Amino acid sequence: MAIKWQPPDGAFSHTLGKAGGGGIVRDLAGKMLVAFATPLQAHSALEAELKAIHHGLILAKEFNHPIWLEVDCEQALNLLNGVSWGPPQVRHDVARLIVLKRQITLRASFIHREGNNVVDSLAKMGTEKTDYQRMTASSAPRLVRAMVRMEEMGMPNIRIRGEDPT
């Protein structure tokens, strides 16, 4: 099944106890406007995902356009869409997202992890950073620029049915 791109992602390693987030803001043609990679204070993958979404929405808000957020974590998407408040350890993050949603025009949908290759790479980069890093199309790492360019050209990522996404 062919899958194409999209935004914020949180990475969390139980073994290392590290979390990172990453995201990319694109124009309608898929060109990179700005991206980020950052370490996160999180105790679970869900918490990292919610914090990364918040960072990404704050960044996208700067462009003052409607935002289409694609998330590869269904639980985070459900919380963002107001299905519930989630477990106690993430309720503060959910509340911050609900307040932010009132300030923007937002559409949020699910995408498989393979459709988030650039963002997944940025989130993993975030686990290795000591502070927030903002990037432009010219300052992003070469691998990130190459992945963005491939997606701009319409090259899909591949997901094998039955493949374990973890």
Q: What angle do CA 21, 25, 27 make, to 5 degrees?
A: 165
Is residue 51 within a helix (H) or strand (E), and if so which, with residue range? helix 45-61
Strongest mean pLDDT among 1-10, 49-58, 117-126: 49-58
User: Higher pLDDT residue, 65 or 163?
Assistant: 65
Given this model, what pLDDT does residue 4 score? 44
pLDDT, tens only, 33-75: 999 999 999 989 999 999 999 999 999 999 999 999 988 899 9
| CATH 3.30.420.10 for domain 2-154 | yes
- Residue that has been written with the tokens 């139980």 in this structure: 14
In this structure, are residues 62 and 101 in contact, taking their beta carbons and an 8 Å threshold? no
Given this model, what pLDDT does residue 162 score? 53
Provide φ and ψ at 36, rounded to 5°.
-145, 155
In this structure, are residues 39 and 81 in contact, taking their beta carbons and an 8 Å threshold? no
What the block records as the tokens of 156 is 């899909």
Please tell me whether residue 36 adopts helix, strand or coil conformation. strand
This prediction has a pTM of 0.84
Q: How confident is the model at residue 166 (pLDDT cuts 50, 70, 90)?
A: very low
Percent of the residues in the chain that have a pLDDT greater than 90, as a whole number: 59
Hey, where are the domains in the chain?
Answer: 2-154
What the block records as the tokens of 37 is 């990679």
Q: Which residues lie below 8 Å from residue 5, measured CB to CB, with a gap of 6+? A: 26, 30, 70, 111, 115, 116, 117, 118, 151, 157
User: Higher pLDDT residue, 1 or 21?
Assistant: 21
